[in-house]
Amino acid sequence: MPAQMNEACTLKTRQIVKNPALSLGMSQKDVGKYKKVAVVYGNVAPVVVSAPVDGGYLILAGSARLEACAQTGIKEIPAVMTQTADESEQLKLALMLSAIQEYGAGVLSEGALISQLVNEHGVAPRELVNLLGKSKAWVSKRMSLDQNLSAIVKGMVRDGTLCPRSAEEVAKLPSAGQAEFAANAVNYGLNKTEISQLVAYYKSACSDEARSEVIKSPLEVLSKIGMPARKKSLRDTGLNGPGKRLKNCANYAAQMLLKAINMAENANEEALRDSGPQFSRLRDIAGEAEVTLNRLLADVSLGKQLGGEPVW
């Protein structure tokens, strides 16, 4: 039994300090779910916070609920204030709550919490294995997602474009090639087993040319190693069908473009100068994309007007 009882209370949302590790795994989809409830009923589920430090309460569970309340103008939120001994115990509690489906903050947040505990607080991975009731491999894979996965691929996991199990395999590749490989894997609808085979082939390849082929032409490599990729019908409407993948790809591209523009607007002159060639290329691609999309969407609209079936 704990030496002190935890306390139920009501806090102002501005008093609650965001937890960077939990924010890492928070998706706008999760926030949107809570916003629908908050708009109609207000916040009906408490968040979990630490005891106050310098007047602020660090959130340990419920980041998406807190963000939903902030976006809907809710000023106060019910909370459970925990009595933990130190920052290490706070992180352990946040990690344990994340592993419970009700409070789950996502694999990226779990990885970030594990990394903090191991690297900053000296907690042995074996202790976390016993604490969470998980395997040593589970803890190791979560750490790998945090430490080895590139920022762009983390974004693909966060928005649901790439599943966590596939991301665990992508994390084994050098970070420079991860984004392109992951995008190709998603576009071709490759599953975790196929991605795993490609990563293994990459790691055993004897030349840069062979490794480059894995990144740029995964279907051809699968065929070479005797694992031809599954070909899907153009009318496949499943969760991994062409229509779903196309929407995910478009959403992700839009998200990355907006992020790049926002970073450019807030960058200093030196950073803009250093990024000039990349932004020039991005501008050229955006121009080409506008012409192509205008043509394709015009064809779709014309098909509908003539009574034909839409292309997608």
Query: Are 190 and 197 spatial neighbours (Cβ–Cβ below 8 Å)?
Result: no
* Non-local CB neighbours of 139 within 8 Å, separated by 6+ positions: 114, 125, 128, 129, 132
pLDDT above 80 for 96: yes
Give the mean model confidence (pLDDT) for residues 261-285. Answer: 80
The pLDDT value given to residue 210: 95
pLDDT band at residue 238 under the 50/70/90 scheme: very low
Angle (CA) 126 129 131, round 5°: 110
- Grade residue 228 by pLDDT with cuts at 50, 70 and 90: low
Q: In the predicted model, what is the mean pLDDT of residues 242-259?
A: 73
Q: What CA–CA distances, in Å, run from 159 to 30, 218, 252, 265? A: 10, 23, 8, 24
Residue range 9-28: mean pLDDT, rounded: 83
Q: Can you give the pLDDT at residue 105?
A: 55
What does the pLDDT average to over 284-311?
64
Kindly list the structural domains of the chain, giving each domain's residue range(s) and its CATH number in brackets, ordered by start: 7-148 (3.90.1530.10), 152-257 (no CATH), 267-312 (no CATH)
Q: Which amino acid belongs to residue 161?
A: T
Of all residues in the chain, the percent with pLDDT exceeding 70 is 86
Residue 177 has pLDDT above 90, yes or no: yes
Please, what is the average pLDDT of the chain? 81
User: What pLDDT, on a 0 to 100 scale, did the predictor assign at position 235?
Assistant: 43
Look at residue 234 and tell me whether its pLDDT is greater than 50. Answer: no
- Give the mean model confidence (pLDDT) for residues 133-155: 92
HEC letters along 78-92: EEEEECCCCHHHHHH
